[in-house]
């Protein structure tokens, strides 16, 4: 079992739908990253959060430390949101070590 688990692995949505991607981790962390990998391969950091909720445009990330769970939400999804979304746990006490989930492939159809 991976230290970081994501669900679903694949997600297809229609434009405008509300999307949720889930991430669970098994060890204590100092922070959690949400990353977006574009079809061209580039990786962009979307959020880093250690508690509560963060919002950037149509993207919202939440984390529940007690439950070791985080969610990434996309409101009013658009085809340009199609990408792989990756969560990664950051264990600050043992160094700046990112452990990655396997990613969620999101396809938003027009």
Partner 1 sequence: DTAVSQTPKYLVTQMGNDKSIKCEQNLGHDTMYWYKQDSKKFLKIMFSYNNKELIINETVPNRFSPKSPDKAHLNLHINSLELGDSAVYFCASSQGSWGTSYEQYFGPGTRLTVT
Give per-residue burial for 68-103: e unless 16+ CB within 10 Å, then b: bebbbbbeebeeebbbbbbbbbbbeeeeeeebebeb
Q: Residues binding partner 1: what is the number (CB under 8 A)?
A: 27
Phi, psi of 89 (to 5 degrees): -90, 145
Does 27 bind partner 1 (CB under 8 A)? Our answer is: no
Residues 40-59 touching partner 1, rule: CB under 8 A, are: 41-45, 48, 50
Shortest Cβ 16–partner 1 spacing (Å): 27
List Cβ neighbours of 67 (8 Å cut-off, separation of 6 or more): none
Cα–Cα distance between 105 and 75 in angstroms, integer? 17
Does 100 bind partner 1 (CB under 8 A)? Our answer is: yes
Residues 70-89 touching partner 1, rule: CB under 8 A, are: 84, 86, 88
* Binding residues for partner 1 (CB under 8 A): 30-31, 33, 35, 37, 41-45, 48, 50, 84, 86, 88, 90, 92-100, 102-103
């Amino acid at each position: 079992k991976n230290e970081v688990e994501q669900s679903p692995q694949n997600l297809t949505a229609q434009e405008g739908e509300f999307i949720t991607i889930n991430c669970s981790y098994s060890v204590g962390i100092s922070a959690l990253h949400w990353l977006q990998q574009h079809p061209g391969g580039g990786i962009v950091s979307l959020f880093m959060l250690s508690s509560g909720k963060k919002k950037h445009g149509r993207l919202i990330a939440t984390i529940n430390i007690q439950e070791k769970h985080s969610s990434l939400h996309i409101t009013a999804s658009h085809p340009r949101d199609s990408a792989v979304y990756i969560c990664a746990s950051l264990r600050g006490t043992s160094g700046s070590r990112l452990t990655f989930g396997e990613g969620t492939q999101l396809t938003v159809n027009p």
